[in-house]
Amino acid sequence: MKLGLTALALAALLSSGSVLDTAVLAQQQQQPAVPDAPAPQSPGLLTDVSGPITPGIGAAAAPAAATGSSTSTAPIGQQPVRPPAAEPKDQIQTTPPEMPPPGEGYEKTTTIIRLNVNFVVVPVTVKDSKGNLVAGLTWRDFKVYENDTREPLRLFTVDPAMLSIAFVIDQSLTSDVMAKVNNSLDAIQGALTPYDEVAVFTYNNGAQERTGFTGAQSSRLPAVLALTRETGSEMLVPINSGPMAGCNVHVNGNCADPNIQPGRSAGSGPFITIPKEIHTLNDAILAAAKELSTRPKGRRRLIYVISDGKEYGSKASYRDVIRYLQTNQIAVYGTLVGDSARWGEGFVSRIHLPFSMYDNLLAKYTFATGGTLESERDLNGIEKSYAKIAEEARTQYTLGYLSHQPVIDGKFRKIDVRVDRPGLEVIAKPGYYPSAEDMR
């Protein structure tokens, strides 16, 4: 009996399991199949985007007339073809140069960061037809050309500059002119500010440094200028005949004064050879320029010469001195005294005859370096010229640009500064030689 019940229970379990399997298969057939994940694909290039792309919105749709064709996706790995950039048609400068606030302009000439380029600083003086300084010009009024190529301005300022001035005093002047120069030296300090610095040089037969650079308002400067006073030279008329023509004092059979020794510099008989005058202007300017080249770049370097402009007997040539000045950005200013300061004669003295002394070489120095020259004969005019030239050097327009020429090639580069206003005189250096100190 018990075995019969067990068989019936097992048969019931088997029948219920088959029913469950049938229900599970039916449920699996009714559920949809899970699809496979999509394969990764590389996005195409956005060659059909022509408008601006705004975050959250996407690219703006370009007009149909502008596109001219339906959008398409470029093949993967192929770069889109871009149209060539249009050449600039106008080279007129539209971007203003850097114009620092007042009081910081001249310092920018040394703090601008540059890389393998020449940054050229050009101080410019502008005068009207009456010789008065012209103020109020802007950077749009100036045009700078280097080797006939216009250079866009990178710096423009009218801030006054601190001056480093090397005064060069001619002591080969005649006694009457030397007396006027001696009395005018006290006015030099009144034309300078406490921010300026001064060195003093003198020359007669060779250059001599009286003092290195010292404060313009220090007590040392007037003391040094007092020591530079000299009596000058006397213009004597050679005597060729009469009782005073011979040599009265003999030393070892020769005349004590070789200038009147018969047969030598005085000649013999009716012929006399006047000894040549010595005026070492080139050597004096070169000595002052070497001292100025050691001054910081943030200062304006000037050489102020008080002389009649005569030159003879220097070891340095004019060409070598000019090259040194134009390489180290040094300008030469001067006050012309003596016979060269006379009206009309000062222009004639600039004409140089071969195998003779230069009667006025100072004018060529000022023109080649962008300086100015004053011609004064009386004491009052000489004193006023100091203040006038110091004012011109301090209140110049400072222009800066990056040269398009190779960094250093050793060749002279011509500069032409123009102002778009009629009737104005523009005074600037005509060119320069590149230097490694100008590289940044």
Residues in the chain: 440
Q: Is residue 46 part of a domain?
A: no
Which tens digits make up the pLDDT trace of 399-438? Answer: 999 988 877 778 899 999 999 898 999 999 999 998 876 6
Name every residue whose Cβ is closer than 8 Å to that of residue 144 and which is 6 or more positions away in sequence.
122, 150, 151, 153, 399, 401, 415, 416, 417, 418
3-state SS, 313-352, equals CCCCCHHHHHHHHHHCCEEEEEEECHHHHCCCHHHHCCCC
Cα separation, 436 vs 440, whole angstroms: 9
On whether both 378 and 424 belong to a single domain, the answer is no
pLDDT reading at 322 higher than 60: yes
Least confident window among 234-238, 258-262, 269-273: 269-273
CB 203 within 8 A of CB 281: yes
**For position 242, what pLDDT does the model report?**
54
On whether both 172 and 304 belong to a single domain, the answer is yes
Domain containing 190 — which CATH number? 3.40.50.410
Least confident window among 38-52, 170-184, 277-291: 38-52
pLDDT band at 169; cut points 50, 70, 90: very high
Provide the strand spans (E) within 230-329. 250-251, 254-255, 300-307
CB 328 within 8 A of CB 297: no
Q: Is residue 313 part of a domain?
A: yes
Least confident window among 18-22, 98-102, 149-153, 394-398: 18-22
Domain count, the chain: 2
List the domain range (segments joined by +) for residue 170: 163-230+276-394
Name every residue whose Cβ is closer than 8 Å to that of residue 317 and which is 6 or more positions away in sequence.
282
Which tens digits make up the pLDDT trace of 8-20? Answer: 555 554 455 555 4
Count other Cβ atoms within 10 Å, centred on residue 1: 4
**For position 90, what pLDDT does the model report?**
44
On whether both 181 and 218 belong to a single domain, the answer is yes
On whether both 313 and 385 belong to a single domain, the answer is yes
Cα separation, 349 vs 351, whole angstroms: 5
Which tens digits make up the pLDDT trace of 351-386? Answer: 666 656 677 899 999 999 999 999 888 999 999 999
Closest-CA residue to 188 (of 220, 228, 216, 230)? 216
- Which backbone phi and psi does 144 adopt, to 5 degrees? -120, 130
**For position 238, what pLDDT does the model report?**
53
pTM metric for this prediction: 0.68
Which tens digits make up the pLDDT trace of 61-88? Answer: 544 444 444 444 445 445 455 555 554 4
pLDDT reading at 97 higher than 90: no
Least confident window among 207-216, 233-242, 359-368, 380-389: 233-242
On whether both 418 and 320 belong to a single domain, the answer is no
High-pLDDT (> 70) share of the chain, %? 62
